[in-house]
Amino acid sequence: MESLLNSRQVMELLNIKSPTTLIKYEAEGTICVHARLGNRKRYRKSDIKKLL
């Protein structure tokens, strides 16, 4: 099973300061939400590493 990251972890890896910026990247298609667990978003670690 591939590891998933939460929003805070993604923001730390990409050095994003505002959650609004992360939402903007989602709307642009730069970052894709892989799963939603309840009200929380999860992102694939491999997708985030590609952006680095």
Distances (CA, A) of 37 to 7, 16, 47, 48: 12, 22, 18, 18
Is 34 within 8 Å of 45 (Cβ atoms)? no
Say which residue the tokens 């009200």 belong to: 39
Q: pLDDT digits over 1-52, tens only?
A: 689 999 999 999 999 999 999 999 999 999 999 999 888 999 999 999 998 8
| Residues facing 43 on adjacent strands | 5
pTM above 0.75, yes or no: yes
What is the 3 state secondary structure string of 32-45?
A: CCCEEECCEEEEEH
pLDDT at site 2: 80
Q: Are 41 and 9 in contact (CB under 8 A)?
A: no
